[in-house]
Amino acid sequence: MNKIKQWIKAILVRLLRPVIKQVLDEQPARTCESCGPCADLQQIIRYAVQRPVDLVRKGQFYYYCYTNEKYLYDSIPESDRYKSAREIAPVENVLLEKADFPVSMVITCLQHLGEQGFKADFFDVGASLGTVSVPVAAFMKHSRMEEARVFSFEPGAINLLKANIKVNGLENQVTAIHKAVCDMDSYLPFYVYSCHAEGARVLTNPVNPTEPLIANLVPSCRLDTFLADLKYKNNSNHLVIKIDVEGHDADVILGLSNTLSTGRVAMVVFEYSIGTMRARNVDYMRPLTLLHQNNFALYNLWDVETGWDIEIGKAQKRAPVMQELPLENEERIHRFFAQVSANNAYEQTDLLAINRAVPNFDSLVEKLRKTFHPST
């Protein structure tokens, strides 16, 4: 019955989408203030409503983002908001010690694979504005990893993502794909909020389901299908994958099953949303069992006992731990996720899966621990 309701909703979305588009197209367009760096990127990017865009600097890089992005825009000092023309300094070198999570872990893994004589690509699933894709691609560019590529999947703010790739000079390193990644090749309703830009998702919001949502119909794909169809020279490259898809994480991993069996996937860092899976009647052990069957070690990345401060605009109070979870001990895994649910209002945590077949596996784990724990 639930599947029938979902298909009816998807059909209605598809029928109403042209009507919504026509109404919006009749509204006067709002554009950001003219500035040198974004002279050719002045179109306000929209899902189904108009939102003002600003150019900001975060760390070494530049991003166009909606001015109602609480987690990004509100954290940027006024001096780093570029509403008028300013010169953008090119990035000369990517400083790993200044990289935050999960960028630091992705770059560390890419470096390790390179030291072992392997080439690798990075798949950013749920790329959003590109705050992970951009620094990783810049690292590839300045490390002269000519054959390495970044593939950034984003079903929502795809035009902002493309603009951020361009403004940082990374068009040759990054391919932006306007698709939702899951466990089927189809079309899915993609929900965005009417009042802010964070948290766009294939699923409705489990934390605040009463918040107004707008749906668009977007193409979806399995990573297995994408890799099988992909005509590029890097089909023997190892893969480093980041997944942040607001509760659809299990579906992404299940849609990667064939590729996992090939041994090409070196590392997956992903958000794991237990509460959303429970609401969808999804077995959270199934993706983890798949990883275990394909020789992956699994690590929890945060101390679940500290809990999180979920008030928007405040830093989350999380302590890094990088603690290995024994996938062969299902009872202990269940106890762990019970802790996650009890101590985290979102009922989610970040996990790291590393292929034990990666050359010098223990060395990679130690490097990742040092990256994640700068004090050690």
**DSSP letter (8 states) at residue 80:** G
How many C-beta neighbours within 10 Å does residue 152 have?
A: 28
How many C-beta neighbours within 10 Å does residue 215 have?
A: 21
CA distance 343 to 340: 5
CA distance 255 to 223: 6
CA proximity to 298, closest of 229, 343, 365, 225: 365
Mean pLDDT over all residues of the chain?
Answer: 77
Q: Which domains does the chain have, with CATH numbers?
A: 2-80 (no CATH), 96-372 (3.40.50.150)
Give the pLDDT band (50/70/90) at residue 2.
low
CA distance 13 to 8: 9
* Mean of pLDDT values over 165-189: 92
* Mean of pLDDT values over 222-230: 89
The answer, yes or no, to whether residue 309 has pLDDT greater than 80, is no
How many C-beta neighbours within 10 Å does residue 211 have?
A: 13
The answer, yes or no, to whether residue 269 has pLDDT greater than 60, is yes
Decide: helix, strand or coil at residue 43: coil
As a whole-number percent, the residues of the chain with pLDDT over 90 amount to 40
Lowest mean pLDDT among 62-71, 259-268, 357-366: 62-71
Give the pLDDT band (50/70/90) at residue 193.
low
User: Residue 66 pairs with which residues in a beta bridge?
Assistant: 53
Nearest 5 degrees, angle CA 228-CA 151-CA 291?
65
CA proximity to 287, closest of 321, 233, 241, 231: 241
Decide: helix, strand or coil at residue 366: helix
The answer, yes or no, to whether residue 39 has pLDDT greater than 90, is no
Q: What is the per-residue pLDDT for 288?
A: 96
**DSSP letter (8 states) at residue 207:** S
Tell me the per-residue pLDDT of 97-154, one tens digit each, with 9 for 90 and over: 556 778 999 999 999 999 999 999 999 999 988 999 999 999 999 888 878 999 999 9
- The pTM assigned to this predicted structure is 0.81
Lowest mean pLDDT among 50-54, 60-64, 103-107, 222-226: 50-54
What Cα–Cα distance (Å) separates residue 100 from each residue in 96, 274, 328?
A: 8, 24, 31
Give the pLDDT band (50/70/90) at residue 45.
very low
